[in-house]
Amino acid sequence: MSAPGNSSPVLDKACQEALAALVGSDAVLIDAADRAAYETPARYAGGTAAAVVRPATTAEVSAVVGYCVRNGLPFLPQGANTGLAGGSTPDAGGGQIVLSLDRLTAPLEIDVDDRTATVGAGVRLSALNAALEPHGLFLPIDLGADPSLGGMAATNTGGARFLRYGDMRRHVLGLEVVLADAAGTVLTLSHGLRKDNAALALRQLFVGGCGAFGVITKVTVEVHHRPRQSAAALLIPRDADAVLPLLLAFEAQAGASLSAFEGMSKAAMTRAIDHVPSLSNPFAGGVVPDYAVLVELTRTWAPREGEASLDEVLQQIAGEVLERDDSPLTDALFGPAEKMWALRHGLSEGLRASGPVVGFDLSFRRRDLARFRREAVLMLEADFPDYALCDFGHVADGGVHFNLVGPTDPERRAMLREAVLGLAVDGFSASFSGEHGLGRAFQDAYDRFIPRLVQDYSAAVAAVFGAGSAAVRLGPALKS
């Protein structure tokens, strides 16, 4: 974010002292060693910040934001810095201030009767779930990282259990935000009610807005009862075209108990098994199939007398599908749910350990997933044989992490990105950002694929909240 019409100035001594007066000298990081963790993203190249400012309260966020806007100081909100779109780290110019929200860890209030939690934007998902656990509750967004709640709201995080529980937009009941205007205006958007049509639901602009409309400082979320029963299996589909019929069969027969349906390619699974020491190969004879699906069933109640266990239900469904003529299923591996999930959770680590990754966060209509993958594989074999496809994703919601491991040559990678995104977006009307939000890494895709009229209206809406001018584009955060 930046003040309208101002370029990035050098953060001089007077500005440093003014910011220190607002948040305390220990909360303004100037030295390169102190800034490093805030400048280095989880993926892609990092940048250089003019400073890192770490307010501890909403009032301090308001004061810092107002000061930056009045003085033309560009700033960039950052949560836990776990994002994969380059949206929370500075560019290479050295002129942006990182506004870190990692000290906003209060409140952390749980309302068991209302089944809600109200937390500071800097509270981590793990900390919230640890506080909820004694009450038998959790926020059921399953991720490979430990993000802050403010960042999760800002990027509308999805995750592996989207099928059952939905994304953050489904869970956010209220927000407190600071607008990027000269006053650092603080808005309370809803009071945590599940039903409230008394005013426009402005909070929904901030959920998934990636910081473009203001800085989220407090979040109220709906939470859920923890499952008290679970069962999981690794399903081996007949082929790629059988994955969707397999999903439809489990949706029809498992109903609301179906909580996850995650696809994993052989290349992704093999890298996890090879590079994650805690993983063992779960497949018969150690032969990893071309593709596997992790399926999970859950219940929130304890086992009841006379009721079939979820393990029995899962095996019965799989057995019935196996017995069909032209069955979409060739085999199923049953075992403890935690063992099944260990393979899925190890995919990202295995991928990182196996070489440089070019990651795509794509989202399709479910019926298009198999056809896209088939066409993409042919394109890669013909034009990019030096890249290995290691894809996995959330089959049930159409999401796929279309990751490739290969050369780091910038020109070659740019050609690869253009080809994959062109096939996905132009060829299948896919989204180039299914759940990772927007950031510098996606600016080229935003400029290329989002209609100019939509970009202009997005910028105009952002400007209403004081967040820039007509020249500002919705993307990395707000850039002018």
d(CA 4, CA 74): 10
pLDDT at 442: 86
Contact 156, 222 (CB under 8 A): no
Q: Taking the CB of residue 133, how many other CB atoms lie within 10 A of it?
A: 11
**Shortest CA distance to 72 belongs to which of 28, 18, 8?**
8
End-to-end Cα distance, the chain = 8
Say if CB 152 and CB 170 are below 8 A apart: no
* Single-letter code of the amino acid located at 218: K
- The number of angstroms, rounded, from the C-alpha of 461 to the middle of its chain's C-alpha atoms is 24
What integer pLDDT is reported at residue 232 of this predicted model?
97
Beta bridge partners of 297: 231, 258
Q: According to the model, what pLDDT value does residue 415 have?
A: 96
Residue 251 three-state SS: helix
- Six-digit token pair at 119? 């937390």
Domains and CATH numbers, the chain: 13-103 (3.30.43.10), 108-225 (3.30.465.10), 229-347 (3.30.70.2190), 355-437 (3.30.70.2740), 450-480 (no CATH)
> Could you tell me which residues come within 8 angstroms of residue 362 by beta carbon, excluding any fewer than 6 positions away?
372, 399, 400, 401, 402, 424, 430, 431, 432, 434
Q: Distance (Å, rounded) from C-alpha 4 to C-alpha 459?
A: 12
DSSP 426: I
What's the rounded Cα separation, in Å, for the pair 84 and 144?
A: 11
Consecutive 10-residue runs of the chain (480 residues): their mean pLDDT? 44 93 96 92 82 97 95 92 81 91 97 98 97 97 90 91 92 96 94 90 92 94 97 96 96 96 96 93 93 97 95 97 95 93 92 89 96 97 97 93 94 96 97 87 90 91 70 35
The identity of residue 168, as a single letter, is M
158 C-beta neighbours (distance < 10 Å), count? 26
Alpha helix positions (H), 241-368: 243-254, 266-275, 310-322, 337-345, 347-354
The dihedral through the CA atoms of 235, 240, 245, 248 has a sign that is positive
Run of H or E residues at 221? strand 215-222
